[in-house]
């Protein structure tokens, strides 16, 4: 069995070596590698020339810039002669056993498509795709299809899939050209027509999240209005194939995509922002509500869909952004939607309440200034608990906690607080150094925490130094310091002297 690898190359010189190295080290080498240089201007051509000297199966095709990967992928597909096709993105890389283990599955099951597991990565870390993890898409390897495993619709990138070439040519499956998100149309059509799809958990595709704002990938540009305007409808395809009864599977992804785009609404230019709701609502007007049974976090998605369909950007942003919008929140951390009931369309989809997502507005315990002298430790900063603001000064509180790093013993000092309009609590605290004298005399470090209260919620957080925090040390007993993780501690004087020595 032979695999043809197709790479649409455009301005990826900084990443191309990693991709080509992963191809060169495959335990089962690719039969041919077709790189279509789509008018790169950054040195990608030189990188390809270098690798063509090393890999005899690499063919480089050059053309004028077409504006999107669909054209280069179609050109590569027309030239490919292998039994199987892999559309690899040139800024990513694959495991060394990617083709070897995949073809073992192909020999056994003969699927139309193999779908491999996928990780995201950048220069600092690697992580699982959140939606895949939430839905358990890659918990086990298995033979299936879209109608049995509707969660496949959440995986619409072509690069972590291997296609039988006969399946693509027999069904005349091609990428739309000149469209920004042509892969959504292509993979959706493929999944609808594939009778056998093998989910392969034994190998991984590594999807790069680019960190340079000057060279984001197309997938990362969902804040651009064109990313919404270029989404294509596939109803005509479903009608031609007699599949309109299953359009709700496509709607699963449409609901998620447009609610995700709406979360970036305030990053659009003003004219695009005005066009957003009419355009999206035109697309969503015939949504099959069965789709809501297959979305991750269905109650939160339904709430966002409600605000999207009713053109309520301020309220939508409150469920998706830490910097825009605000909604009523119950003391135990739930958005309270009861006031919207009976006043808007689609309110049958709106739950009474939804838990505030944990990462929407993280808890904070920040030190802005601190001084340590022979008599007292003084601290100034602010704290907050997630999205939940205190309703009044009586509803709020901050306690400074000194914790002995060795024994874990705690000593607590109430702080004076002032409520700020940004839903934070400013605090000031004065600590008698006598509380620390015995620890410091025993050369024991004290770590600083805040216990923050907002209504019925109570959280203990490590006190973290603001990047511009001002620290003053004027005593002989110890020193106010910041750890390598940015946390605030008090180190005994003798320990500090040993570090200097």
pLDDT in tens, 351-389: 999 998 877 877 889 999 999 999 999 999 999 887 777
Residue 474 CB coordination number (10 Å): 10
Q: What percent of the chain has pLDDT over 90?
A: 59
Q: What is the pLDDT of residue 422?
A: 63
> Residue 241 — φ and ψ, nearest 5°?
-95, 0
User: Is 201 within 8 Å of 243 (Cβ atoms)?
Assistant: no
Return d(Cα 124, Cα 140) in angstroms, integer: 28
DSSP per-residue letters across 312-333: -HHHHHHTT-SSS----B-TTS
Q: What is the pLDDT of residue 303?
A: 94
**Which of these ranges, 72-86, 214-228, 323-337, 345-359, has the smallest mean pLDDT?**
214-228
Q: What is the pLDDT of residue 363?
A: 81
Q: What percent of the chain has pLDDT over 70?
A: 93
Tokens of 449: 């925490």
> Residue 252 — φ and ψ, nearest 5°?
-55, -50
Q: What is the pLDDT of residue 224?
A: 52
Strand, helix or coil for residue 405: coil
Q: What confidence tens digit (pLDDT) does each residue in 13-31 have? A: 999 999 999 999 999 999 9
Residue 184 CB coordination number (10 Å): 23
DSSP H stretches of helix in 7-128: 16-24, 44-54, 70-79, 98-109
User: What secondary structure letter does DSSP report for 12?
Assistant: -
Q: What confidence tens digit (pLDDT) does each residue in 216-235 have? A: 444 444 445 565 655 556 77
**Which of these ranges, 81-95, 281-295, 395-409, has the smallest mean pLDDT?**
281-295
Between the CA of residue 253 and those of 6, 217, 256, 453, what are the distances in Å? 26, 20, 5, 39
- Identify the band that residue 501 occupies on the pLDDT scale cut at 50, 70 and 90: very low
Return d(Cα 231, Cα 69) in angstroms, integer: 15
Cα torsion 379, 385, 387, 390: sign: negative
Q: What is the pLDDT of residue 68?
A: 85
- Identify the band that residue 76 occupies on the pLDDT scale cut at 50, 70 and 90: very high
User: Is 153 within 8 Å of 254 (Cβ atoms)?
Assistant: no
pLDDT of residue 498 exceeding 50, the answer is no
Averaged pLDDT, 303-322: 89
Q: What confidence tens digit (pLDDT) does each residue in 88-125 have? A: 999 999 999 999 999 999 999 999 999 999 988 887 78
User: Is 446 within 8 Å of 439 (Cβ atoms)?
Assistant: yes
Identify the residue whose tokens are 């064109």: 226
Q: What is the pLDDT of residue 127?
A: 86
Burial class (CB in 10 A: 0-12, 13-18, 19+), 402: buried
Q: What confidence tens digit (pLDDT) does each residue in 420-475 have? A: 876 679 999 999 999 999 999 999 999 999 999 887 778 899 999 988 899 999 98
- N- to C-terminal Cα distance for the chain? 66
């Amino acid at each position: 069995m032979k695999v043809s690898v197709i790479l649409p190359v455009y301005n990826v010189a900084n990443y191309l070596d990693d991709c080509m190295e992963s191809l060169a080290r495959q335990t089962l080498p690719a039969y041919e590698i077709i790189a279509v240089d789509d008018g790169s201007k950054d040195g990608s051509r030189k990188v390809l020339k270098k690798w063509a000297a090393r890999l005899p199966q690499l063919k480089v095709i050059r053309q004028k810039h077409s504006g999107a990967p669909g054209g280069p992928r179609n050109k590569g597909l027309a030239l490919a002669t292998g039994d199987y096709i892999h559309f690899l993105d040139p800024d990513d890389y694959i495991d060394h056993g990617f083709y070897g283990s995949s073809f073992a599955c192909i020999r056994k099951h003969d699927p139309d498509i193999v779908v491999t597991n996928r990780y995201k990565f950048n220069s600092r870390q690697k992580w699982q795709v959140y939606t895949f993890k939430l839905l358990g898409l890659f918990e086990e390897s298995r033979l299936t299809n879209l109608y049995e495993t509707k969660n496949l619709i959440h995986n619409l990138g072509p690069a972590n899939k291997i296609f039988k070439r006969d399946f693509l040519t027999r069904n005349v499956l091609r990428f739309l050209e000149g469209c920004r998100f042509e892969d959504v149309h292509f993979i959706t059509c493929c999944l609808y027509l594939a009778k056998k799809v093998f989910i392969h958990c034994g190998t991984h595709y590594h999807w790069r999240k680019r960190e340079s704002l000057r060279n984001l990938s197309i997938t990362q540009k969902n804040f651009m209005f064109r990313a919404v305007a270029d989404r294509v409808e596939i109803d005509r395809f479903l009608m031609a194939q007699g599949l309109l009864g299953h359009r709700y599977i496509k709607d699963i992804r449409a609901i998620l995509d447009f609610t995700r785009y709406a979360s970036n609404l305030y990053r659009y230019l003003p004219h695009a922002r005005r066009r957003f709701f009419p355009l999206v609502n035109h697309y969503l007007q015939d949504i099959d509500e069965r789709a809501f049974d297959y979305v991750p976090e269905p109650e939160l998605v339904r709430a966002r869909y409600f605000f999207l369909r009713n053109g309520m950007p301020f309220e939508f942003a409150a469920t998706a952004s830490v910097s825009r919008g605000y909604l009523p929140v119950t003391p135990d951390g739930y958005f309270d939607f009861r006031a919207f009931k009976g006043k808007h369309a689609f309110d049958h989809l709106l739950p009474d309440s939804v838990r505030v997502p944990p990462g929407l507005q993280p808890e904070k315990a920040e030190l802005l200034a601190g001084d340590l002298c022979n008599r007292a430790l003084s601290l100034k900063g602010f704290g907050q608990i997630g999205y939940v603001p205190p309703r009044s000064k009586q509803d709020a509180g901050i306690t400074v906690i000194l914790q002995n790093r060795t024994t874990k013993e705690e000593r607590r000092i109430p702080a004076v607080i002032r409520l700020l309009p940004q839903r934070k609590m400013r605090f000031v605290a004065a600590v008698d150094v006598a509380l620390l004298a015995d620890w410091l005399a025993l050369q024991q470090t004290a770590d600083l925490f805040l216990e923050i209260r907002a209504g019925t919620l109570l959280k203990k957080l490590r006190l973290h130094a603001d990047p511009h925090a001002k620290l003053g040390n004027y005593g002989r007993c110890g020193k106010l310091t910041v750890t390598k993780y940015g946390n605030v501690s008090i180190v005994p004087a003798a320990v500090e002297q040993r570090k200097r020595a």
